[in-house]
């Protein structure tokens, strides 16, 4: 049994795409942990609902409890940093918040957003930078965990694929793993997504799981796999990961 830690900034980030992978990993008997840095209180959906930020935070936190139950998460930790303002915080504080769960859960793999953040949201970009820095520092220190850092992403869209215009993808050459989706895992992911009642209009409009129906794509930091792996845990025992990727030589 292996362990995977997902680190995202907002409630629903784990369901807007990667949820079928989490469902599959739990079904296979692996530990799946989720760390969320904010309670998503700044969402524009609160104006529609007439909620204060405090009430929105409480509601989204409760929705996440339902997600944790549906996905059978091994652990869920939801922090209370200000939604939409992670860029204004001392990054060293955020790094400590990420390093703590890594030390506690000793994951084989840590997953977060890629450098473009998929949606481009500033909190996504900050989370990418913080998690990558923490994992790189742990590697430099010789810590045994995590053995792999992966970034949930989207592949280039097919011409016949309907995808919200604001979402960004990674080039095919950077995608190192594509986790297949079956009906069971997709249904579990849909049930988890449905826990976010406050986001129903957004879910109905964007249909986020449709973007991953052909598989959940990941970049893997410091590794290159062609063809892509079919699981984030493949080849962990044979892959040597350097403290940081070697920069290309310049002539």
Domain ranges for the chain: 3-220
pLDDT given for residue 247 in this prediction? 46
The pLDDT of residue 164 is 86
**Residues 4 and 101 sit within 8 Å (Cβ to Cβ):** no
The helix (run of H) or strand (run of E) holding residue 6 is strand 3-8
* CATH of segment(s) 3-220: 3.40.50.10320
Tokens 């509601």: give the residue: 59
Look at the block and give the residue holding tokens 């549906």.
Answer: 70
As a whole number of angstroms, the distance between CA 219 and CA 33 comes to 19
Max Cα-Cα span within the chain: 60
pTM of the predicted structure, to 2 decimals = 0.93
Which pLDDT belongs to residue 246?
A: 45
Who's near 164: CB < 8 A, 6+ residues apart? 206
What pLDDT shows up at residue 146? 97
The residue with tokens 């992911």 is 189
Nearest-CA neighbor of 115 among 245, 249, 250?
245
Of the candidates 85, 153, 151, the residue with the CA atom closest to the CA atom of residue 119:
153
Structure-token pair, residue 77? 């930790």
Note the pLDDT of residue 222.
96
Consecutive 10-residue averages of pLDDT for the chain (251 residues): 96 97 97 98 94 97 98 98 97 97 98 97 98 97 94 84 86 97 97 97 94 95 97 80 46 33
| Local structure of 206: helix, strand or coil | helix
Q: How many CB atoms lie within 10 A of CB 113?
A: 28
């Amino acid at each position: 049994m292996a362990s995977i830690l997902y680190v995202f900034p907002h409630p629903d980030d784990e369901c807007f795409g990667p949820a079928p992978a989490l469902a599959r990993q739990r079904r296979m008997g692996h530990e799946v942990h989720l760390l969320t840095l904010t309670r998503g209180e700044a969402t524009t959906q609160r104006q529609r609902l007439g909620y204060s930020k405090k009430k929105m935070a409480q509601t989204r936190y409760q929705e996440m409890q339902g997600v944790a139950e549906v996905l059978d998460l091994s652990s869920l930790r939801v922090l209370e940093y200000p939604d939409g303002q992670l860029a204004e915080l001392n990054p060293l504080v955020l790094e400590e918040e990420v390093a703590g769960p890594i030390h506690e859960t000793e994951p084989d793999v840590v997953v977060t957003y890629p450098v473009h953040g998929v949606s481009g949201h500033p909190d996504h970009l900050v989370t990418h930078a913080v998690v990558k820095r923490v994992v790189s520092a742990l590697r430099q220190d010789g810590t045994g965990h995590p053995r792999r850092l992966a970034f949930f992403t989207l592949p280039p869209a097919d011409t016949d694929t309907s995808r919200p215009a604001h979402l960004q993808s990674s080039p095919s050459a950077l995608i190192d793993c594509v986790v297949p989706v079956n009906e069971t895992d997709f249904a579990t992911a849909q049930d988890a997504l449905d826990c976010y009642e406050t986001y129903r209009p957004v879910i109905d409009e964007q249909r986020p799981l449709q973007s991953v129906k052909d598989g959940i794509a990941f970049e893997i930091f410091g590794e290159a796999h062609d063809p892509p792996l079919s699981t984030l845990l493949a080849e962990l025992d044979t892959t040597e990961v350097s403290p940081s990727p070697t920069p290309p030589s310049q002539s």
